[in-house]
């Protein structure tokens, strides 16, 4: 039976969008949904307000309170402006930086936001075209802004868009500002939004920031000499139709790489992403054209960035000369191994360095850090938490790199979000160093496993869209809390960590406190054979994620495929234990 009460509620909410406060196109779209006998779309678009969460907004574009449109974006910007005026009331001039990606409506949302900020007396630095997310983060700090926003849905499918909110340190907002902004956004009504901008307070930026940013990225180069020797390294790169085309080829050239081949079909700016199913470098399908080109020219490495150029995916040749994908955990391993190994070799370590990983990222990184006497810190998923660690130690300890399993890495501290521009350049340097030593990246990865231990990671995404899906995800987390697994793949669970309560329970039932800066809806299970499983609902997509890491034995590089197959079999057993 249909939920008549819910239909009544969404109908009343939708009818409020038929007033003159909304444009004719929006009203027509809402009227179409109201007139449709099937109320499914109406419910999905109006059953709730699209939540302005701790990272901002992300959702499907369209009319409605639960969709990305100029009114939802406008309310977010007006609320953000109100919060900035309260928080920086003693400043003569508050300023913000605004960036956007290639997605449909990103430029529209950015320009509307610029109008709203300026109408509220806030100076706006607006990029003249799409730019990588990390460049926007850099611009906040470089221009001395108090905040910034970026209009992007990162790697999500084409129907999505998003709104990321940043603070004056160039990182996405954390407490107390996240909740303060959310409170202000919640108070805004459509009639409160000041859409009429003040052009005198909007300054267009672009090439001037590009050059400064690229020069800064070049400063993280560890071994320029190896690049000079391997300047002809054959690189294939694709921006997947996104912002990377405005930065990554230029950065690679600045580092000294002279043989960069961009996938021509994907160097076309498009929010429709016509050559891929989804513009996510985590997906093998997204690299199909890049690998095809790499085979044609016998390239050394393939690199891809997502639409806002914060994530990087890669592929290289294995010991049989076949192209294989390197996952996010492995990429993070390669970065941190190279940074630590070669900074030590070249005498660039002073003894106060630290690296950061997220709690769901491979534990092999911990082995590398410990063996090299480098401090390693764990933090929550999301680069705002890595940025927090950088901020806490600024001027005291030196951050040299941090990453997460979801294909994000940051090698510098002048940006405070994951950065595919610097990551691609550094990845090319690592490949050049490997080649200079007669190795491939694949062989370097084998060296890491042989020295520090082999593990295999796998993530299962259980997608649950819509209102009913959100409720299912909540129930799944509730069930796991109340009925934690006693064993996984036949190995006893020796430790359960609940980041929502900040309590951990060992195999004997002893409970102790966890030291974290905030709570988070994450569960972790550790077994006696060192399997680690992390479970968390996605903060940006309608899914719950299960991150699995299992250990294996690798005696030689030749045994890798057997060890990998055995680990894959174990992961299937873990999945069976969890019923996913």
pLDDT block averages, 10 residues each, the chain of length 580: 82 96 96 95 93 84 97 98 97 98 98 98 98 98 98 94 97 93 95 98 97 97 98 98 97 98 98 96 96 98 98 95 96 97 95 97 96 97 95 97 96 98 98 97 97 96 85 92 95 97 95 95 97 89 91 94 96 95
Cβ distance 42 to 2 under 8 Å? no
What is the token pair recorded at 441? 């990246």
pLDDT of residue 540: 67
Tokens describing residue 530: 């060192």
Check: CB of residue 125 under 8 Å from CB of residue 135: no
Its CATH class, for the domain covering 213-452, is: alpha beta
User: Does residue 278 carry a catalytic annotation?
Assistant: no
Give this prediction's pTM. 0.94
The region, left, alpha or beta by phi > 0 then psi within -120 to 50, assigned to residue 39 is alpha
Task: Say how many C-beta atoms besides its own lie within 10 A of residue 215's C-beta.
Answer: 11
Domain with residues 454-578, CATH architecture: 2-Layer Sandwich (3.30)
Helix, coil or strand: residue 189: coil
Among 269, 224, 225, 264, CA closest to 244: 269
DSSP for 370-391 reads HHTT-EEEEE-SSHHHHHHHHH
Q: Cis peptide before 176, with omega less than 30 degrees from 0?
A: yes
Distance CA 259, CA 254 (A): 12
| Distances in whole angstroms, Cα of residue 438 to Cα of each of 51, 65, 435, 443 | 52, 57, 5, 10
Angle at alpha carbon of residue 350, lines to 411 and 428, rounded to 5°: 30
Angle at 145 between CA 139 and CA 151, to 5 degrees: 60
Selected catalytic residue, list 137, 154, 251, 455: 154
Q: What is d(CA 186, CA 54) in angstroms, rounded to the nearest whole number?
A: 13
Q: How far apart are CA 470 and CA 455, in angstroms?
A: 32
Structure-token pair, residue 317: 């040749």
Q: Identify the pLDDT of residue 55.
A: 74
Q: What's the CA gap between 320 and 114, in Å, rounded?
A: 53
Fold of 48-205: Alpha-D-Glucose-1,6-Bisphosphate; Chain A, domain 3 (3.40.120)
Rounded Cα distance between 391 and 529, Å, is 36
* Number of C-beta neighbours around residue 318 at 10 A: 18
Asked if 545 contacts 536 with a C-beta cutoff of 8 angstroms, the reply is yes
| Local structure of residue 190 (DSSP, 8 states) | G
How are beta strands 491-498 and 487-488 bridged, if at all?
antiparallel
* Euclidean distance between CA atoms 248 and 131, whole angstroms: 11
* Max intra-chain CA distance, the chain: 71
Sequence-separated (6 or more) residues with CB below 8 Å from residue 316: 300, 301, 302, 323, 324, 326, 431, 440, 441, 442
Q: What pLDDT sits at residue 2?
A: 57
**Cα(337)–Cα(343) distance, integer angstroms:** 10
Q: Can you tell me which residue has the tokens 């106060």?
A: 352
CA distance 456 to 330: 9
Which residues does 539 contact at the CB level (< 8 Å), separation at least 6? Answer: 53, 54, 55, 381, 382
For 426, what's the count of Cα atoms within 13 Å in the CB-facing half-sphere? 28
CB neighbourhood size of 320 (10 A)? 8
Half-sphere exposure of 35 (CA within 13 A, CB side): 7
Parallel, antiparallel, or unpaired for β 235-238 and 260-262? Answer: parallel
DSSP element (H, E) containing 149: strand 147-151
Q: CATH 3.40.120.10 occupies which residues in the chain?
A: 48-205, 213-452
- Residues 433, 226: contact at Cβ < 8 Å? yes
Can you give the C-alpha Rg of the chain in angstroms?
A: 24
DSSP 284-347: GGGGHHHHHHHHHHT-SEEEEE-TTS-BEEEEEE-TTS-EEEE-HHHHHHHHHHHHHHHHHHTT
Q: By the 8 A CB rule, do 214 and 248 touch?
A: no
Residue 1's pLDDT is what? Answer: 34
């Amino acid at each position: 039976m249909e939920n008549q009460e819910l239909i009544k509620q969404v109908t009343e909410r939708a009818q409020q969008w038929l007033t003159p406060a909304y444009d004719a196109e929006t009203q027509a779209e809402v009227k179409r949904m109201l007139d449709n006998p099937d109320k499914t779309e109406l419910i999905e678009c109006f059953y709730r307000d699209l939540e302005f969460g701790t990272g901002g907004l992300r959702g499907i574009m369209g009319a409605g309170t639960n969709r990305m449109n100029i009114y939802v974006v406008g309310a977010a910007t007006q609320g953000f402006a109100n919060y900035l005026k309260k928080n920086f009331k003693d400043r003569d001039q508050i300023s913000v930086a605004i960036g956007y990606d290639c997605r449909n409506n990103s430029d529209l949302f950015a320009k509307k936001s610029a109008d709203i900020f300026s109408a509220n007396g806030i100076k706006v630095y607006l990029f003249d075209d799409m730019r990588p997310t990390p460049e926007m983060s850099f611009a906040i700090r470089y221009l001395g802004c108090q905040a910034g926003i970026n209009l992007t849905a990162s790697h999500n499918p084409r129907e999505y868009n998003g709104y990321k909110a940043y603070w004056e340190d160039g990182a996405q907002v954390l407490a107390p500002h996240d909740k303060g902004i959310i409170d202000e956004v919640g108070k805004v009504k459509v009639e409160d939004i000041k859409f009429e901008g003040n052009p005198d307070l909007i300054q267009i930026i672009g090439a001037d920031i590009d050059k400064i940013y690229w020069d800064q990225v070049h400063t993280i180069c560890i071994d320029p000499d190896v690049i000079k020797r391997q300047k002809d390294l054959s690189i294939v790169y694709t921006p997947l139709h996104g912002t990377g085309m405005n930065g990554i080829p230029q950065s690679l050239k600045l580092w000294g790489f002279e043989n960069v081949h961009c996938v021509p079909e994907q160097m076309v700016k498009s929010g429709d992403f016509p050559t891929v199913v989804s513009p996510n470098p985590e997906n093998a399908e997204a690299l199909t054209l890049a690998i095809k080109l790499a085979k044609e020219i016998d390239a050394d490495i393939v690199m891809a960035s997502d639409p806002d150029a914060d994530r990087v995916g890669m592929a290289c040749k294995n010991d049989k000369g076949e192209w294989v994908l390197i996952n996010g955990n492995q990429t993070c391993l390669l970065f941190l191994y190279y940074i630590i190994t070669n900074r030590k070799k070249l005498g660039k370590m002073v003894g106060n360095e630290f690296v950061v990983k997220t709690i769901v990222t491979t534990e092999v990184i911990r082995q590398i850090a410990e063996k090299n006497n480098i401090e390693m810190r764990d933090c929550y998923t999301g680069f705002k938490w890595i940025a927090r660690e950088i901020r806490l130690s600024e001027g005291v300890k030196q951050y040299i790199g941090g990453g997460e399993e979801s294909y994000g890495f940051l090698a510098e501290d002048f940006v405070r979000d994951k950065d595919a521009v610097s990551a691609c350049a550094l990845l090319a340097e690592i490949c050049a160093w490997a080649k200079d030593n007669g190795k491939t990246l694949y062989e370097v990865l084998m060296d890491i496993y042989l020295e520090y231990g082999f593990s295999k990671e796998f993530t299962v995404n259980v997608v649950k869209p819509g209102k009913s899906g959100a409720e299912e995800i909540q129930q799944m987390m509730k069930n796991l809390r109340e009925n934690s697994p006693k064993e996984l793949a036949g190995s006893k669970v020796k430790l359960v960590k609940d980041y929502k309560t900040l309590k951990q329970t060992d195999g004997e039932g002893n409970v102790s406190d966890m030291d974290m800066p905030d709570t988070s809806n994450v569960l972790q299970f550790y077994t006696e054979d060192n399997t680690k499983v992390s479970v968390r609902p996605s903060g940006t997509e309608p899914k719950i994620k299960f991150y699995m890491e299992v250990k294996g034995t690798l005696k030689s590089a030749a045994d890798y495929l057997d060890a990998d197959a055995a680990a894959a079999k174990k992961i299937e057993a873990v999945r069976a234990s969890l019923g996913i």
